[in-house]
Structure 1
Amino acid sequence: MNPCRSIHACIGVLLLGGALPLRAEELKEIIVEADAEETVVPPHFAGSTTVIEGKTIAESGARSVAELLATRGGVRLSSSSGNSSGSAVHLRGFGENSSSRVLVLVDGRPLNRPDMGGVSWLEVPLARIERVEILRGSQTARFGDNAAGGVINLVTKEGGKRSTVIEAAGGSDCYTLARLSYQDTFAGKRIALDLERNYTDGWRQNAESELESAALRWSRDLESRAELEFGVSWANERNGFPGPLSKEQYLLSPRESIYELAGVADQYFSEQSRWGFDGNLILGKKGELAFEMPIAFTRRDQEWNFGAGMHADNLLQTFSAAPRLGAAGERWELEAGLQYRRDSLDVSQFAEIQRVNRTAQAELGRETLGVFASGEWEPWKNWHLGVSARWETTQVDASARNFASPANPNLNFDRENDEANRAWQIGLRWEPREDLSSWVRYDRLYRLPSTDEIASYQGYPLTRPFNDQLRAETGHNLELGSEWSPGDWRFRLNGFAQWLEGEIAFDYLQNLNVNLADTRRLGVESSIGYSRGIWEADLHYTNLIAEYEGGVYAGKQVYLVPRHELTARLACRPVEKVMIQGEYQYIGDAFEGNDFQNTREKLPSYGVANLLLRYEPKPGLSVYLRVNNLLDEHYATVKYSGVWYPASGRQFQLGIRREL
C-alpha cells in the first residue's frame, strides 16, 4: 500500500424501512421526545463543565477527538508515540494510568476498556460527533467506575434535517483525511451515516497510524408514543510503536525509533478491528415520565506485537445494559435504574509474529452490576439541590496457562475475587440571576482495579500473578465554584480537594500493582472567555498540587503530574470570510515516571503554539490550514526512569470542507 496515496472516499447510503408493530392502546398517555439527546450534564449541575458544540467542532480543523479536547477543551494529553490519536487524557491531577480514571462515554455508554488499554480516539471519528461534554471532578455516584477524575461524553449525530458534509485534508508526514457525514429523514425514520479514513506516517519513525471506520444510526417514532433507535459501527486501525529514547538520542534526533535503528520495527505494531452495536427503546417523554432500555455490544479483536516473543492476540467482548426510569415535576426530577456490564477477554501469546507456536493462553471475565438513583429538587427559588447514590458489585475471574512451564504457579493460575463499593454525591447550586451562579458539591468515590492491575496475563510476570489483595481506590472530593457571564465576558473559578485512600500504582521494587498510599490533590481551575464583534478569546488555567499523604513517600509529589496547566485561544475575523486563530498550551514540569522519591531529573515544562487559518468563500464551503507546533518546540509529554518519549514537531494540514 502506498501510504501517501490520494484521498478517496467510498460513499454509500443504507436506508432501513419498516418498524416494530405497536398497538396504540398498549401505551396510553405515553409521549415520545424524539429529539432527546444523550446529554450527561444536568440542567443545574453543581460543578465545572465544558461543552464543545457542533459548529466549533466543524471549524476546528482537528484530526481527532483528542486534538479537539486539547485545543478547545483545555485538556492535557500525553502520548508515547507522538500521535494525538493515541493519547491519554488527564483530568484533575492523574498522571500514570489516567485513562482508567477518566470515564469516556459515547451517547452515555462507557467506552473504557477493562484493562489498562487507553481509548482509541480515532475509533469515534469527528464526523460522527455532534457535541462534546466535559465534566471535571469525580462523578462515580452518577456513572460508576473510571469517573474518579471526570467524564468526557461524546454525543453523536442521530439524523434529522437532510445534510451532507464532505471533508478532505492532507499534510506533512503523509497525512491524509477523508470524511463523509450524511443525515436525513425518510417517512419518520431518521438516519445518520459517517465514513472516515485517517492516515499518517507519524512524525517519528515507526509511528504510523491508520484508521478506516463506518457508522450508521437509525431511529424512528413508534405510533408517536415511543422511540426506537439503534446504531452499528465498524473500525479497523493500525498503529506503530516508535519506542523510547535515551536523553542523548532525544536531544540529538527525537524523530528516530530505537526499533527502526535496530532493524526490528516490523516487530513493533498493533492492529485491531472493532464492531459495535447499540440500541435503545424510549417510552414516554423526557422531563415527565420516561423509561429507557439502552443496550450495547462491542467486539474488539487486536493483534499486539511488541518484539520477539511478545506477540499476542487479544479478543475483548463487552455487553452492557442500563435500564432506567425517570420522572419529573415542576420543581423536581428523579431517575433510578440498574447498570450491568460483562467484559470477556481471551488472550493468546505466541513466540513469533507468524503466530505458529502458542506460548500462553488466558481467559478473563469481569462482571459489574450497579444500582443507582439520582434526583434534583428546587427547595427554594433559584436554589437547586442534586443528590446521587450508587452501590456496585464486581467480580473478576482469571485463568492463565503457560505451555512452556505448565507447573510454574506464577504462570499458571485459576483465581477469582469480588468486592462491593458505594458512592454518593450531593451538590447545591445557586442561580440568583441568569448570568450568575455558584455551587458546592461533595462526592464519595471509588475506582476499580483494572484486570491487568490484578492479574498477570499480558506476558509481563508479576511477583503475585493474581493479586486478590488489591482493592478499589476510594476517597472523597469537595468542590466550590462560581461563574459569571456579564455581557461579552465569561468568568469561572472552581476550587477542589480530593483525597484517595489506597491509590493504586505499580511498585517497581515489588514488581506488583499495589494500593500504594493515600494521596491528596488540591487545585484551582479558572477560565476567562470573551466574544464580541470580530474577536473571540478564552483562557483556562489550573494550579494543582498532587502528593502522597502517608507511607514512605509521605509529602512527595505524585509523578507525571504538573503543577501548572494553561490553555489559551485567540480568534479574529478581520473580514467576513476569513478567520485567524492562534492556540497555545503550556504544561509545567513534573517528576518522571517511577520517581516516587522526587530525586531524578524532571520532565521539563513546555509550551506549544498552533495556528489555524480558515477561509469561507461561500456558505457551506470552507478551506483551512492548520499548523500544529508552529514554533517547532522540542518537548516530551512522557518520561520514565530516564528514557524519553518525544512529542511531535511542526506539522502542517491543509483541508477543504463542503456542506450540502
Structure 2
Amino acid sequence: MRRLALLLPLLSAVPALAAPGVVESPEILVLGTGLPLPPGTPAYGASIIDRDRLTSEASDRVENVLKDVAGFQQFRRSDSRSANPSAQGVTLRALGGNASSRALVLLDGVPLADPFFGFIPFSALSADRLSAVRITRGGGTGAFGAGAVAGTIELVSAVRDDLPTYAGSAFYGSNDAMSIAGAVSPDLGGGYATVSGRFERGDGFFTMPETQRVPASARARYRDWSAGVRGVIPVDARTELQFRALLYNDNRTLRFEGADSSSEGQDASLRLVHRGDWMVDALAYVQARNFTNKVISATSFRLTLDQRNTPSTGIGGKIELRPPVGGDHVLRVGVDARLGDGELLEDAYSGVTGRVTARRNAGGRTSTAGLFIEDDWSIGRLVLTGGVRGDRWTINDGFFREANAAGAMTGNIAYPDRSGTVATGRAGALFRANSTIALRAAAYTGFRLPTLNELYRPFVVFPVTTLANASLGLEKLRGAEAGFDLVPLPGTAIGVTAFYNRLDDAIANVTIAPNLRQRRNVDAVVAKGVEITALARLGQISFDGSYVFSDAVVRGSGASAGLDGLAPSQSPRNAASATLGWVPAPNWLVSGTLRYVGKQFEDDLETDVLPDALTVDAVVRVPVSRRVSIVARAENIFDETVVTRNQGGSIDLGTPRLFWIGIRLN
C-alpha cells in the first residue's frame, strides 16, 4: 500500500491513468517523499517512468530509459559511456541543441545541472536509487522554475518499500565491460538510511568508422564510480528530515589516445518536509564540481589543448509554504535561490612542437532569486491552476585572461556586470468529463540564464572551433498546449497533446566562418507539433509507447538572417519509443524496446546530416531463488549504425551491439 501511495500522486499527473477521485483520496504518509502533488498538476501533462521500468533498461543507464519519453534528447545521441560529459545537456520538444540543459532536472527537488556547464552528471545516477521519474514538457514556474524552458524532469529517490535491507548486482558485458553495484538500507528508529555504491568500466568501442581510423584512434574507454548516502529521519508524526550526499568520479577517452576527459562532484542537500495544516517544504544544497578535458589534434595527433581544471560551485535552496485556505484551493507560496560560480584554466599547445603557446583563465558567477505563488482551484470536475513568479538575475565578475608560455599577460578582459528582473507565469485547466476522458489546456512563459560555459568557455571538436560569448542574453519562452487523456479500457490509457513553443533569443552555435562558430542569440526557435503516449497493462503483457512530431524552425534576422526558416541543429522532427513486456510469473521478465529517432542536422546551416536510426534492445530476467535473479541484456541487437556527429564528413558513431550477463540480488 505504501508503494502504491507513492505512485498514485505521480500517476495523477496523467489523469488517464487514474480514476477521477484519485486526487481527492486521503493522503497516505510515505517517508522520504515531498509534499503531495497539487490537483492542477495534470493540466500541464506528464509522463511517468516507474521503478520497474527504470531497473529493467537494457543499458542500465538513466539517460537511456528517459528516452522512453519521445522528444527527450541530449546534445549528442551518445550516452555517458561515449559522450563528452560537457555535451550531456537535456532538452525536450526539439528546441535545439547547444549542450546546455533547457530542461530543469531535479532529484528530490534539488537541481542537478552542473553549475558551470549546465550538463547533467548521468553517470552518477543509478536507477536502483530511484523510485520514479515524472517528465513534464513546457515552461515551468514554482520552485526553481528559472531554467525550465523546455520542461521539468523530476527524479524521486527510492523510498523504504523499494529498498530491501541488502541489494546488489554484478554484470559482465561486451568489450570487457563490468558493472558492480550494491546498497545497504537499514531501519533507523522510525526512519531509514541507504548507503549505496556503484563502479563500472569498459574498454569501449571505436566511435570512428573503420575507414577513418588511424594508428592514434582509441576506443571509447570509460571508468566511473559513485557513492551515495540518503537518510530519512522523522521529527514527529507529520515532519521529517531528509539528507542526501553524493560523491562521483567519471573518466572517459574519446576518439584518440590521450583525448581524456574527467568529471567529479561532491553534492549534499538537507530537506525538511512538514505535512500538517500548514505544509512546509524547505531545502538547502551545495555542489562542488570539476571537469578536465584534453583535445588531441586530428592531423598531428598531439595534445593541442589541455582544459586542465574547471572548478565550480553551486549553492541554493527553497522554502515553500502551503497555508490552509479551504478544501477547494491548494495555495503554494515560496522563495528560491541558486548561485553558481566557476572558472576555466587551460593550456594551449602547438600541434607541431608540442610546446605551450598560451595559458588561459576565464570565469564568473551567475545567480537567480525568485518569489513564486500558485493556486489550484477545484470546482467539481474542473480544476483551474495558475501561478506567477518574479526573478532577480545577475551575471557578475566575468573575466578572461591569457598569457604566453613565459607567463607574460597578453590579454586581460573584465566583463561588465549585468542584472535584471523577469516575470513569468503559467495557467492551466483540467476537466474530467467522466471516468474515461479528461481534457486539459495550458499556457506558460519561462526563461533561462546563459551558463558560465556558454558565456566564457570556447571549445574545439575537430575541425570546428566554437567561441564563447560574454554578451549572451537570456532565453525567454512563450508556449501553449492542449490535449486529452483517454481510458478506452481498464488498464489502458492514451494521451494526445498539441503544442506551440517559441523560444526567443535562443542560444545557438552560429557559423561565422569556415570551421568557426560562436554562441549567439538568434531571434527565436519556434517548435510546434503533436505528442502521443499510450500504455496498456493486460494480464501478463504490458506496453508503453510514445511518439512526437515536432516541426521546429529558426527565426533569424540581421547577423542570423541566413538561418531564418532552417531547422535548429540537433533537432529531429520525428521520434518514437515502444516497450513490450511479458511477466509470465513473479520476478520473471521478458521485454523488448524499440526506439526511433529521425534525421537531424549537425550544424546550423543544415550542411551535415545525421541519418535516422532505429534500434532494438532486450532484457530477460529469470529468478533462481526468491531473492536472486539472472539477467541478460542486449543493446542495439541489430547493430544499427547510429551517427552521433558529422562535421564535414568527420563522423562519430553511437553504441553498437552489446551483450550483458549478470546477477541481481534483491
How far apart, in 1, do the equivalents of 2:291 and 2:550 lie? 37
Select which of 43, 50, 65 maps to 1:53: 50
SS at match of 1:454: helix
CA deviation map 1:263-299 (0-9, x unaligned): xx12x111232111110223x316x312232000111
| 1:231 CA drift (Å) | 1.7
Inter-partner Cα distance in structure 1 for 2:567 and 2:349? 41
**Which aligned pairs between 1:553-564 and structure 2 lie closer than 5 A?**
553-564=563-574
- Match in the other structure for 1:587: 597
* Mapped partners of 1:570, 1:218: distance in 2: 35
Counterpart-to-counterpart distance in 2, 1:166 and 1:346? 38
Q: CA deviation at 1:208?
A: 1.5
CA contact (8 A) 2:64 2:79 kept: no
Aligned mate of 2:172, from 170, 173, 180: 170
Q: What corresponds to 1:451 in structure 2?
A: 452
Q: Using the TM superposition, give the Cα deviation of residue 177 of structure 1 relative to its aligned residue in structure 2, in angstroms.
A: 0.9
1:408-429, Cα deviation, whole Å (9 max, x unpaired): 55x5334322232221000001
Alignment gaps of 5+ in structure 2: 1-26, 207-217, 297-302
Partner of 1:491: 494
- Match among 488, 503, 511 for residue 508 of structure 1: 511
Match of 1:195 in 2: 197
Is 2:243 aligned against 1:230? yes
Q: Secondary structure at the match of 1:203?
A: coil
In structure 2, what is the Cα distance between the partners aligned to 1:350 and 1:369? Answer: 35
1:627 partner letter: A
Q: Which residue of 1 aligns with 2:665?
A: 658
Tell me by how many angstroms 1:115 deviates: 3.8
Q: Give the partner amino acid of 1:536.
A: S
Question: Identity of counterpart residues, as a percentage?
Answer: 20
- Contact 2:403–2:410 (8 Å) recurs in 1: no
Q: Which moved more, 1:101-110 or 1:298-307?
A: 298-307
Please give the per-residue CA displacement for 1:355-403, whole angstroms capped at 9, x wherever unaligned: 999822234111221111112111x201111112111122112122212
- Deviates further, 146-155 or 490-499: 146-155
> Which whole-Å CA distance do the structure 2 matches of 1:187 and 1:141 have between them?
34
TM-score if structure 1 supplies the norm length? 0.84
Change (3 A) 1:472 1:414: closer
Instruction: Give the equivalent residue in structure 2 for 1:296.
Output: 285
Counterpart position of 2:644: 637
After superposition, residues 389-538 of structure 1 pair within 5 angstroms as: 389-397=388-396, 398-404=398-404, 408-409=410-411, 412-456=413-457, 467-468=470-471, 470-485=472-487, 486-509=489-512, 511-538=517-544
C-alpha distance in 2, partners of 1:419/1:462? 31
Change (3 A) 1:362 1:620: same
The farther-off stretch of 138-147 and 102-111 is 138-147
> Contact 2:531/2:548 (CA < 8 Å) preserved in 1?
yes
Report the secondary structure of 1:445's partner residue: strand
Q: Is the 8 A contact 2:613 2:642 kept in 1?
A: yes
Give the structure 2 partner of residue 5 of structure 1: none
- CA contact 2:608–2:646 (8 Å) conserved in 1: no
Code of the residue aligned with 1:276 in structure 2: it is D
TM-aligned CA deviation for residue 142 of structure 1: 5.2
Indicate yes or no: 2:61 matched with 1:64.
Answer: yes
Q: What's the secondary structure of 2:523's corresponding residue?
A: strand
The CA RMSD measured in Å over matched residues stands at 3.0
Question: Which residue in 2 is equivalent to 1:104?
Answer: 105
Distance 1:298 1:593 in 2: 33
- Give, in whole Å, the separation in 1 of the partners of 2:239 and 2:89: 39
Mapping of 1:301-316 within 5 angstroms?
301-307=290-296, 308-311=303-306, 312-316=308-312
Match of 1:276 in 2: 267
In 2, Cα distance between equivalents of 1:641 and 1:580: 42
- Unpaired stretches in structure 1, ≥5 consecutive residues: 1-30, 243-258, 260-264
Within 5 Å, give how 1:377-388 maps onto structure 2: 377-378=377-378, 380-388=379-387
Q: For structure 1, which segment, 340-349 or 439-448, has the greater mean C-alpha deviation from structure 2 after superposition?
A: 340-349
1:374–1:69 CA distance, 2 compared to 1 (3 A): same
Alpha-carbon spacing, 1:550–1:358, altered in 2? closer, same or farther (3 Å): closer
Map of 1:241 onto structure 2: 254
Give the superposition deviation at 1:512.
3.1
Name which of 325, 345, 350 aligns with 1:348.
Answer: 345
| Distance of aligned partners of 1:179 and 1:464 in 2 relative to their CA distance in 1, 3 Å threshold | closer
Pairwise CA distance, 1:608: 0.7
Q: Between 397-406 and 485-494, report the one with greater CA deviation.
A: 397-406
Look up the SS of the partner of 2:63 in the other structure.
Answer: helix
**Amino acid in the other structure paired with 1:454:** L
Asked whether the 8 Å contact 2:74–2:90 carries over to 1, the reply is yes
| CA offsets 1:19-76 (integer angstroms, 9 cap, x no match) | xxxxxxxxxxxx9956251379544321221112223323335422112212477734
Shift of 1:227: 2.0
TM-aligned CA distance change 1:620 to 1:433, over 3 Å = farther
Q: What does the per-residue CA deviation read over 1:436-465, in whole Å, with 9 as the maximum and x for residues that have no partner?
A: 211000001222222232235779999997
Q: Deviations over 1:536-587 (max 9, x none)?
A: 1122111110012342233222232111111112222456664321211111
- The structure-2 alpha-carbon separation of the partners of 1:462 and 1:173, relative to structure 1 and needing over 3 Å to count, comes to closer
Instruction: Note closer, same or farther for the CA distance 1:38–1:98 as it changes in structure 2 (3 Å cut).
Output: farther
Q: Secondary structure at the match of 1:100?
A: coil
Residue 166 of structure 1: CA displacement? Answer: 1.0
Q: Which moved more, 1:66-75 or 1:32-41?
A: 32-41
Aligned equivalents of 1:438, 1:98: Cα separation in 2: 35
**TM-score, length-scaled by structure 2:** 0.83
